[in-house]
Amino acid sequence: MLIDRSAKVFTTAPARPSSLRRRALLATLCVALPLQAYAQTPSAEAFLRDLYAPYLTGANQGQNYWDLGRYFAPDLARLMNDEARDARRRNEVPRLDGDPFVDAQEWDVKNFTLSVKTDGSSATAVVTFDNYGKAKRITLDLVLTPAGWRINDIGAPSGSLRALYR
């Protein structure tokens, strides 16, 4: 602020070009950084390929599906966690008594295929494989969350994962 002492009038100095450039840069970054984060999110297919990779090694390794936030949509993860906690309190086995990604307690996955159709912030995938020689077909509904792609439901021969918690 400049003071013109002769007229006793206060005036505001125009913003310097460097100040305007800084403000414009800051505004651009505020918009671009969140978009950049989504742009760097792996695809739904990459998420699922990473998820199923341990099942394909032949070492009978799977995923720790109880790392709920890593794999499941927040509301489904909350339902699963609440039910498992209640089952522990009752000294009972939780409703989910097998690996939801292969719909089995044990596996020897062969002939794995994955097909994914993405529509904006949702995707549907179909996974097929043989487990101990028996054909399996699993459908996964995914949603894009701020943390990346997460599973919103799994449809398997044994039923829907989400329906298990209704």
Assess whether pLDDT exceeds 80 at residue 131.
Answer: yes
pTM equals: 0.74
Give the whole-angstrom CA distance, residue 159 versus residue 120: 26
Give the whole-angstrom CA distance, residue 63 versus residue 53: 9
Q: What is the mean pLDDT of residues 105-119?
A: 95
Question: What Cα–Cα distance (Å) separates residue 60 from each residue in 40, 71, 87?
Answer: 31, 19, 27
What is the per-residue pLDDT for 20? 52
Give the whole-angstrom CA distance, residue 84 versus residue 164: 12
What is the per-residue pLDDT for 126? 98
Closest CA to 103 of 144, 43, 164: 164
- Kindly report, residue by residue over 33-79, the tens digit of the pLDDT: 444 444 568 999 999 999 999 999 877 678 888 889 999 999 999 99
Give the whole-angstrom CA distance, residue 132 versus residue 74: 32
